[in-house]
Amino acid sequence: MSEPAEKAAKAAKAAKAEKAQKLDASDELAGKRAEFVLDDVVYLDGNSLGALPAAVPGQVEDVVRRQWGELRIRSWTEGGWWTAPERIGDRIAPLVGAAAGQIVVGDSTSVNVFKALVGAVRLARLTDRGGPGRERDEIVVDATTFPTDGYLAASAARMTGCTLRPVAPSDVPGALGERTAAVLLNHVDYRTGRLHDLPSLTAAVHAAGALVVWDLCHSAGALPVGLDEHGVDLAVGCTYKYLNGGPGSPAFLYVRAGLQDRFDSPLPGWNSHAEPFGMRADYAPAEGAVRGRVGTPDILSMLALEAALGVWDGVSVDAVRAKSLALTDFFLECVGEYVPEGRVECVTPRAHAERGSQIALRCPDAGEVMRRLIERGVVGDFRQPDVLRFGFTPLYVGFAEVERAARVLAETLAETPA
């Protein structure tokens, strides 16, 4: 690099660093960072596993030592264990735009996807507008979905006698018809960070007389969802990403209030029985969101999640979304300034209306680049075959960290053969 070019590069980095300081100084969410256990690593992998909220270790110790150790079985009543799935569901509800009484927490995302999708097919057949002889027998699934969702959709199709039809989200409206029973879609694409149009796609599914199931794993806690506002039928989401619930923390299931009395779960269990301690041979479903329960909830993870959700006190999802867009905009700005043109390709949409809370960059040596980034204290992740993913959690990521990440990325790319 020539001396003038080197001076220009240094000046550009100084300008970006100064801008980052100003942005951090005016950040209304900056104080939330102190509520997490963090170090000097730039952690941009919250879209895989959120950072540890500082209140969680103490809560877990209390659950283990006092509630389990001293109260023992009395904790199911005295400690509130039995009502935890609905109580914590009500805590998550405002973060995804839902009224209380529609979300139950428990099981994995995969199990909840299966429950929701089979339940959606059964609901669609109960209300089939096609008339006798026109039973709905097709499930439409996001062709770009996370693999497990695809596997589960195929299993649900076999179980319900449906044909599975993979379709790109943008092509869903044209693929719907009188045979469509249910549609399974991702709100945010896990590879690219593309945000799909939940309101218009939900409306299109309903216009065809079908039901929609949304996977919110990459949007819950990162941006407004509006489940009630947009009439979503069923939705599932994990809690260990932007909700920071911990590794393997239980997922959630949303069933719209107007559907709950007809929701027929393919996994009925004693916890969802109208008389769970009656131990009756015949199954009678409970009322409300409780129908989404199956077996005994994972109390240790459940109550760790409840403690983790305390970081949302006093926080609006709109403020989180505004900061998310500002962080990702600034990252792209810094990458554009620091990284030579053509070295990486951004596959995340630039338009705010089409962007989640991550940036995905494509480069041929992505796996090696990410390995070196992590060694230098910038943690993102790698997705086959050539994608670098950077997730931005607004509650604990700052603008100076974003500038540092882009700078280290540029340095790493300069040292790594393309």
Task: Report the catalytic residues.
Answer: 146, 215, 240-241, 389
Distance CA 42, CA 374 (A): 9
Sign of CA dihedral 195, 200, 204, 205: positive
Angle, CA of 344, 346 and 350, to the nearest 5°: 150
The residues near 371 (Cβ < 8 Å, ≥ 6 apart) are 382
Instruction: Residue 230: count other Cβ atoms within 10 Å of its Cβ.
Output: 17
The residues near 100 (Cβ < 8 Å, ≥ 6 apart) are 90, 93
CB 408 within 8 A of CB 386: no
The H-assigned helical ranges of 182-235 are 198-207
Distance CA 102, CA 367 (A): 41
380 to each of 8, 41, 237, 240, 389, how far by Cα in Å?
A: 28, 11, 21, 16, 6
Q: What is the DSSP string of 229-265?
A: TTT--EEEE-SSSTT---TT---EEEE-GGGTTT---
CB 253 within 8 A of CB 265: no
CB 246 within 8 A of CB 56: yes
At 149, list the tokens.
């969702």
CB 172 within 8 A of CB 204: yes
Q: Which H, E and C letters describe 84-99, residue by residue?
A: HHHHHHHHHHHHHCCC
Angle between helices 109-126 and 147-160 in degrees, nearest 10: 40
